Structure 1
Amino acid sequence: MYNQDVINRIVRAIGIKNKPFKIGVMVSGQGGNLQALIDFSQTKAANFQVASVISNNPDGVALKRAQKALLPNHFINHRAFSNRKEFEQEIITFLDQEQVHLVVLAGFLRVLSPTFLNHFQDRIINLHPSLLPSFPGLHAIEQALAAGVSSSGCTVHIVDEGLDTGDIIGQHSCVIEPGEKIESLSAKIHQLEHALLAQVVNEIARQCLQKSSLKELHVSAENNPTHD
């Protein structure tokens, strides 16, 4: 279901961490996928918690969702900074302050610099509304309809310096019906996004925590050797 090689990369980059496993969510839109993460994080099955929410959109409801859930949240207006470096440094400051292990881009519509990517090397994932590598960039759902393909879906991938070119972690797909409109296809893909993103984040967290537990057992065994 998931690309285990890519998850292994992420787990190695995060290192061995104890609970709680913290994620920082960056969003520019209304925060539907953020809400899915918040909702999942409050279930018994959750291996992660949302530790920080950052938005560059004062008019979206994402920050209101975070506030309702009593989560640390920050509006960082990219227009208020003279350059991208200062804008991104402000984001880094807040994410590091909360000691997040994984950065999740859930509809964040700003291109991130190599400096930002290097700071969180292999610890940034993105959700995209197409079956990558098909239809990268903006308006992916419209692109799929215009191309006349029979299926589409969503992808979670590692973020690299390209445009939606990072290694794929997981995908969910759906059928595009003959004559389907943008509204119905968007609704189907958004439902898939909500499920996929939470599942991928939870799996990454699970494997990190499992590795941490195994390390603790190993250390305990070394400190308390048994003798025949």
Structure 2
Amino acid sequence: MYRRLHLTNAAGRDAVVSMSVVPHESSPRLGLRNRPVAFRRYVVATDATTPAALESRLGASYADALVEGDPEIDLESVGRTVGGTTAIHLSSRGEVLHRAPTVVESIVGPDGVERERRPPVDTPANIHDEQPLRWTGRMMPRRELARRFTFRRTLQIFHIDGLTYDFLHAMAKQLDEADSAVLLGAGPRGADPLVFEGNGRPYRGFLTGRLDPADPARYRLLLHLSDMELKAPPPELLTP
């Protein structure tokens, strides 16, 4: 399925093009020769046979009860196939909550320490026809890009007519000759991350381009989406 994308080039000219997810090879299928694997879910324990429930009920004799018998096994329930299920919310005491709890965002720093708690903020999508993605001019060699970032998704950008072909082909040629990727930004100044849907994950977008050596008229433009930069830990953490 193709989706529209409003994009600017290095000269600040903009055009509406198409994009789609890059097709990938299907994952290996699990199973024996000519026999696929069927996954099933089974009941392992009930509320009355969890370690916390047994410890509360048996007290100091919990360990002796485990040695002398099998109080953790409910012979009437264990091993039964689990069909369709419905998710429920439980309190810290294991009680069913009949109303969804209030969601709170926890902001955690790079060191893993919680910095802030706040009500969730609605983030609108900023990938639309009205506001184009900006060519920021911040270039990065492709080799360095592969070492510094992890990528969640990759989108391929296509032309939709002759004018957008020239527009995208020139971008791919410029990036291929520089052997680099360019950072794309959203917002009026191109300083915002890319958000494809409301309250979606914000991404950094890196555009790479190549021309086909056998046929330079053919090009490929890929938009790599990253939400994680790989950084070396502080020196004090590396000291044994």
Q: After TM superposition, is the score higher than 0.5?
A: no
User: Radius of gyration: which is bigger?
Assistant: 2
Give the structure-1-normalised TM-score: 0.23
Bigger share in strand:
2
